[in-house]
A = this chain, B = another copy of it.
Amino acid sequence: MDRMWRRIGRIVLVTGLWSAVAAQAEIPKETYEALKLDRSASPQQLYEALVKRYKDPAEGAGRGSHAQYWKPIPFSKYLDPHSFYKPPATVKEVASREDCVKCHADESPVWVSSWKKSGHANLDRIRQLAPSDPTFYKKAKLEEVEANLRSLGKLGAGEALKEVGCIDCHVDVNAQGRANHAADLRMPTADVCATCHVQEFAERESERDTITWPNNEWPKGRPSHALDYKANVETTIWAGMPQREIAEGCTACHQNQNKCDTCHTRHEFSVVESRKPQACATCHNGIDHNNWEAYSLSKHGKITEMKGSEWNWSMPLKDAFAKGGQTAPTCQTCHMEYQGKFSHNMVRKVRWANYPSAGGVAANITSAWSEKRLEAWVKTCTQCHSESLARSYLELMDKGTLQGLAKYQEAHKVVEKLYADKLLPGQTTNRPAPPPPDKEGVAQFFQLFWTQANNPSSIEFEVIEMGENDLAKLHVGLAHVNPGGWTYTEGWEPMNRAYSKIMSEDTKLRAMASLQERVAKLETRRTSLLEPSDGATRASLGGLGGALLLAGGAALAIARRRGKDAD
C-alpha cells in the first residue's frame, strides 16, 4: 500500500517536473520526429529511444563497415569502450562506494582530488545556492537530474541524490552495494552520462537529425560530434593503414560520439572549463582545420585572452554577454548558439563544414538550405555587430572561399591530366596499390597517410594538401576573421606557392617526356640504319617507363614498317 502510493507520487512528481524542464529544453523537433516521440515523452522514453539509436551499429555505433580491415590496439578500449573495454582482470578488489575513494586517493590521487572539486561531489552545495548566485541555475539542473533518475527508476520518489561518486559512473548510478573491479567496472560512455543528463545528451544526439544535407554533400548527420567516431572508422585509409598506433591518433579526437569527457574533462567536469575556448583547442587545431589558431589570432580570440579574466565564466552561455560581462565571442557563444538559444548541438549553422573542396558543398552554398543557415549566422553576429557589417563580412567570407576553391580546382586539373597522360614519376613502373579498402586513384586523401614507392608522386601530395589543408585553412581564416589566415600566412599565399610548384613540375615532367621521346626516336632511327635493334641496351633504360619503352617500341615498329612501305 505504502509502496503503491510512493509509486503514484513518483509518477506525478516526475511528470510535473519533466514538463517544466522540457519546456525549456533546446532539443530540436527533428529529433523528436526521428525518434517518433512527442515532446510529452518522459525522460525514460526519451532516454531509451536515444540510447537504442546510439548503440545501434546500423546507426553508426561500433567498428563500422571496414571492421574486417583493422584490429584494435590495447589503448582502443579507452576510445571505444563499448566495443573494446573489459574490466581489469588483474584487479581483484571488491569495493564499496567509500572504498573507491579511499583506495584511489592513494592509487591515483588526482582522480580523487579533481572529483572532490566537482559538482558531482558537492550536490549539497548546489542545493544551497542562493538565487543571487550566478550558478543558481545548477539547482534546477540537479532537480532535473533527479527527475530523470526517478523516471528511470534509479532514484526513489522522495530520495535525494547524495553524490555522484566513482561507483555511479563506473558501475551504476546510485549503486548501493559493492562492486567487483574484475567484473562490474565500466568505462563510462555518453549514454552513461545521459542517465542523469538526458537533455544534454539529446541535444548532442540531435546533431544526427539537424544536419541532413540537401544533396548528400556529406553523409547524413555529419560532420558532427554525434557521429565523429563513425566518420573515423568509415574512413578507408584509417581502416586500412597498417600503423595502428598512428591511426589511433585520429581516434583520440574522433571519440566524442563515444564519450563526453573530451570537452568535460574527468574528473572535475568543470563547466567553467567547458565554456572556455581552449576546451575545443586540442582537437580543433592544425593543418587541416586550424580553427583554434585562426580564432586565437583573431581580435575575437585576443580580446578573450586579454579581458577574459575579468569575465564571469560561471554564467551559463545564455547570460555570458549580458551578465557575465563577456565582450567577445568564444567558440561556444557562436557555435552552440542557434536562433538565440544555446545547446550541445553545434552543427545547426554549418554551411561550409570546414572543407570547401568537399563535393557539392560549394555548389550548395547559395541554396535555400544554406541561406537559412546564413540568416542564422547573421543573427549570431548581430549580437555584437550591425546587420550590415555581418552581411557584408559573410559575403566576403563566401566569395573569398570560392576564390580559393577556383585556384585549387585549376591546379587539380593539371595533376589529373598528368595522371591521365601517365606522366607522374614512376606512375607506370613503380606505383603499388594502396592497402584495401582503398583503391588506386589520383590525388586521393589516403595518400596523405600511406605512401609507398611512387604512390603518390610529390605533385599529387601537393595538390591534395592544397585542397584538404590550404583551402580549408583559407576558409577557416575567413570564418574566424584572422586576416593573415586567409591572405598570406595561411590560405591564399600557400595556395599560390603550391600552384607554382605544380605548374613548374608539370612543365618539367612534360619537357622530360618530350625529350625522352626525341631520344627514343633518335635511337630507333639510327638502329634501323646500321644494325639490328639493341635489345639489351633498351631493356636497361630504367627509370622511365615501360610506357616509354613501349612507345619507343611502337615507334620502332612504325619506322620499320614505314621503311617497307616506302620501298
Contacts and interface: CB of A to CB of B under 8 A. Distances in A.
26 contacts: A73-B396, A74-B396, A75-B396, A113-B322, A113-B325, A114-B384, A117-B327, A243-B400, A246-B491, A272-B307, A278-B302, A281-B302, A282-B299, A282-B302, A285-B297, A426-B503, A457-B500, A461-B500, A507-B545, A510-B544, A514-B545, A521-B552, A529-B530, A529-B562, A563-B563, A567-B567
Contacts of A461: 496-497, 500-501
Interface residues of A, number: 149
A486 interface: yes
A91 to B, nearest CB: 9
- Choose among A382, A525, A560, A563 the residue with the greatest number of B CB atoms under 10 Å from its CB: A525
B562 A110 contact: no
Nearest to A244: B399
Chain A at the B interface: mostly helix, strand, loop or mixed? helix
Interface of A: 73-75, 77-78, 88, 107-111, 113-114, 117, 243-250, 252-253, 262, 265, 268, 270, 272-273, 276, 278-279, 281-283, 285-288, 292, 297-299, 302-303, 305-307, 309, 321-322, 325-327, 382-386, 388-389, 391-393, 395-397, 399-400, 403-404, 425-426, 430, 447-451, 453-454, 456-461, 465, 477-478, 481-484, 486-489, 491-493, 496-497, 499-501, 503-505, 507-508, 510-519, 521-523, 525-526, 528-530, 537, 541-545, 548-549, 551-552, 555-556, 559-560, 562-564, 566-567
A492 B246 contact: yes
Count identical subunits in the complex.
Answer: 3
Instruction: Give the top 4 A-B pairs by smallest Cβ distance, nearest first.
Output: A249-B487, A286-B489, A245-B400, A511-B543
- Choose among A305, A306, A460, A512 the residue with the greatest number of B CB atoms under 10 Å from its CB: A306
A283 B518 contact: no
Given A544-B507, A544-B514, A283 B483 contact: yes
Contacts of A525: 526, 555, 559, 562
Contact of A514 (B114, B244, B399, B549): B549
